[in-house]
Amino acid sequence: MSSENIRVWRHPCPSGAAGRCIGAGTDLPVHWRAAKRLARRIQKLAQRERLPKIIYSSPLRRCADVGAWLKAWGWQHHQDPALLELDFGAWDGRAWAEIERAEIDLWVADFVAHAPGGGESLAALLERAGNWRPQEGGLLISHGGWMLARRWRAEQGQVLPAAATWPKPPRYGELWLTA
């Protein structure tokens, strides 16, 4: 891992996410005020710490809308698919209560290698998040799963998680500093 720290914010709470499996395949919006509020927080931190006005985000609206505010204020905004949330395949967008318990149990039993809903495995997300490097600067807006994978890889290296040891995601709008 690089010793360069990145600052990553989880996107604001998206509209219509409650009780649903939301991953890379569901592009939910965030309220414009929430996106603007987070953009202001990012801008203030960058000014205070004299950081470059460069932001990277997932291309999904819940992240990209924050980047769009910053771009309107003179920032460079780069959208990068490597910052996407886990792809839950056929589960994406469905209510958790509608997903068969047996399907969830298969994922829990093989938490790292199984691709939930036929989408992407946690192993793939760990690799994608762990290998991501900004071209310049280290400010980004991403998703809870991506942030967890990035931190896990930085802190645990090649140790693989089990479902029981996988931590809870950050709060919406929360900032994490990670390698």
Identify whether the C-beta of residue 115 lies closer than 8 Å to the C-beta of residue 37.
no
**Sign of the CA dihedral 154, 159, 165, 166?**
positive
- pLDDT, one tens digit per residue, over 163-178 is 999 999 999 999 999 8
* Predicted model pTM: 0.94
Provide the domain count of the chain.
1
Residues 48 and 41: beta-carbon distance below 8 Å: no
Structural domain range at position 33 = 6-178
Let me know if residue 1 belongs to a domain: no
Percent of the chain with pLDDT over 70: 98
Q: Which CATH number does the domain housing residue 131 bear? A: 3.40.50.1240
